[in-house]
Structure 1
């Protein structure tokens, strides 16, 4: 089937990752405006969006007809997204789940365009899932060391945008109220103020003490890097809108020189070594920043380093656009 005849359908215009994805699709000329469909639950919920100097209307999800030649990207979760997934798969379209609608379904192939692009050809269904932004970043940072790693402990400082657009809007409102000397309203679902705060957990812990996001991070990393690496994870939420940073404690199978570890990271695909990575420095970029590499004072086989990236552009929009390109071109 010719690439010219293919269409891309984005479900969820009111999503924090929507604009970054639209920007990457346009920058890389992956599709033309005439190939693009934008869907929301109700027609008229969102204004037309500008893409490649053309206005693209936002159509009704309920009225839309899915076709086999389409690639459908789910940027939202919930009942309407689940219904869209079922309808698109029944129609024979490819579906990319970027919003955890298929979490826990092992029949859905988890795809990272750098780590396992060949899995597209081996997919059991025409439904794919993208790893969460934190897992995508950490997996890329660990990839150059994968064969030498025995265990990894991840401490991920995620931004508020990882919780969704509503959380971004809530923190913006809280910040404005506090600057005006007013008490900030707290979202009862989170239970803590987002503005000027650093949360040990943005969701209720399970009996084990972990939360679902932490277990999901571990699960995605195991699927991408293999079960042979022991893993644990902690996810904090920092009071920043965008940009994530992880502290990684990596236990190697054998003792290795710090210079060799540094060389492996420097040669890693889409990695950039920097003295002191920061999430602010990473925002807007297409690389994962790694740095502060040091040998542990507790264990000579352990190395600690940081990784930072733009969670929306780098780890969702770019990865999603690359998978879309592969599907439109080859599948």
Structure 2
């Protein structure tokens, strides 16, 4: 266990995840205000942030010196974040990547606080990757059925906040313009209007017809649930700011006993049964809502159900805070 006082360093004050993470860190007293460091690329444009009734200045990422006693959380991607990752790791700090800076790098250990936190001790590097919000929610929803699963097909309806703060701001601006009878500006990177729309894909398609986020979701779930489960995923983007909802088609190894399956899900960690889950009902909560459990009309081995959660607070902020707490106290 570390002897020197630890610091928690958050990189990306302008990210969509920053505010909910700061709230959770304060609620759970993960770190004292004098041990919290906030970084962003443009110091002059970032106002101090309030934490535990203290104003915490936002420092320049480029001028910051990383140290071994720090736990560094990357809340944004891009060249500057990847440079920070390299500098922090070189300095001996622990790094937790929440923004896909380590996507495709199998030497960065994926960690879910409920499912595999013990893997931190055996990590090849001091670099951990937080699974995406969709993978985190789905892994918890499927974990009670893990030994019974043969195949899972996922249709995930993600909110605009999964595309980043700039997308949230863009949808808000589009909504305001449309309410005022004006034509909404469309982000050329997405190619579609976000306000009052439902996108089959918010990013370019690969040769397979999947997009990169769908393949990343499958990869994360295999890492958390095992390689022996057949998985496929579709990710749509719904015109809501926060809160995600997924429909799951689950093929079991044996004929389904609906009452037994329901009992397993009711006893799952951080799961709450709900007759008709919705993303709106899940926002602000700390549990995944599970509902509409039903026998499939296609096969006696298939059951269908849905899951909904708060993608920012629950699946990113709370998971991130739990991992940061473990690193600050035990590593």
Q: Under a length normalisation based on structure 1, what TM-score does the superposition of the two structures give? A: 0.99
- Counterpart Cα distance in 1 of 2:98 and 2:188: 25
In the alignment, what sits opposite 1:87?
Answer: 87
Measured after TM superposition, the shift of residue 42 of structure 1 is 2.3
In the alignment, what sits opposite 1:323?
Answer: 323
State how 1:191-206 maps to structure 2 within 5 Å: 191-206=191-206
State how 1:1-331 maps to structure 2 within 5 Å: 2=2, 5-331=5-331
Structure 1 outlier segments of 4+, above 4 Å: 1-4
Q: Which consecutive unaligned segments of at least 5 residues does structure 1 have?
A: none
Residue deviations 1:85-123 (CA, integer Å, cap 9, x gap): 000000000000000000000000000001101110010
- Counterpart Cα distance in 2 of 1:4 and 1:245: 42
1:89/1:126 contact within 8 Å kept:
yes
1:3/1:328 contact within 8 Å kept:
no
- Counterpart Cα distance in 2 of 1:253 and 1:47: 55
- Counterpart Cα distance in 2 of 1:79 and 1:162: 19
2:4/2:69 contact within 8 Å kept:
no
Q: CA RMSD in A?
A: 0.8
1:148/1:252 contact within 8 Å kept:
yes
Residue deviations 1:143-170 (CA, integer Å, cap 9, x gap): 0001000000000000000000000000
2:73/2:97 contact within 8 Å kept:
yes
- Counterpart Cα distance in 2 of 1:295 and 1:259: 10
Measured after TM superposition, the shift of residue 4 of structure 1 is 7.0
Measured after TM superposition, the shift of residue 43 of structure 1 is 1.8
Q: Which consecutive unaligned segments of at least 5 residues does structure 2 have?
A: none
- Counterpart Cα distance in 2 of 1:116 and 1:248: 23
2:66/2:91 contact within 8 Å kept:
yes
- Counterpart Cα distance in 2 of 1:38 and 1:204: 33
Measured after TM superposition, the shift of residue 220 of structure 1 is 0.3
- Counterpart Cα distance in 2 of 1:45 and 1:121: 38
Q: Secondary structure at the match of 1:121?
A: helix
Measured after TM superposition, the shift of residue 2 of structure 1 is 4.9
Residue deviations 1:279-321 (CA, integer Å, cap 9, x gap): 0000001100000000001101000000000000000000000
Measured after TM superposition, the shift of residue 45 of structure 1 is 2.0
Q: Under a length normalisation based on structure 2, what TM-score does the superposition of the two structures give? A: 0.99
Measured after TM superposition, the shift of residue 3 of structure 1 is 7.0
Distance 1:3 1:185, change over 3 A: farther
